[in-house]
Amino acid sequence: MMNEEIKTVSSKYSFASFLATYYVELLNIHPFREGNGRTIREFIREYAIAKSKELPIGEFNFSWANVDKDAINEVIDKGRAFRSVIELEFMKALEPVFLDKSL
């Protein structure tokens, strides 16, 4: 399903929104933060990097270092995963990769 839905991504924001949707879904399936949380974060990071290479919007790195983990944990801890908060944090995590095609 993810591989089909990603075809609708047309901007950095829609990519962040797409990733946030699946991040929340994966957390809901596996709610235990220890172990599962780290695995889900790494999956999202690697998926974002790999799939961005196929998108018409350009290639991105995904850096959790740019994310306010407290903001995300707060909305998740309250049992209300406000996707908009996560989307905004994922916008910060998505860093464009500028490739020098002249080489």
Over the stretch 12-41, which tens digit does the pLDDT of each residue have? Answer: 999 999 999 999 888 888 767 677 888 999
CB atoms within 10 A of CB 55: 18
What pLDDT shows up at residue 86?
Answer: 93
pLDDT digits 0-9 by tens, 36-92:
888 999 999 999 999 999 999 999 999 999 999 999 988 887 766 688 999 999 999
Q: Is 80 exposed, middle or buried (0-12, 13-18, 19+ CB in 10 A)?
A: exposed
Distance CA 74, CA 22 (A): 18
Q: How confident is the model at residue 102 (pLDDT cuts 50, 70, 90)?
A: low
SS3 84: helix
What pLDDT shows up at residue 91?
Answer: 97
CB atoms within 10 A of CB 90: 26
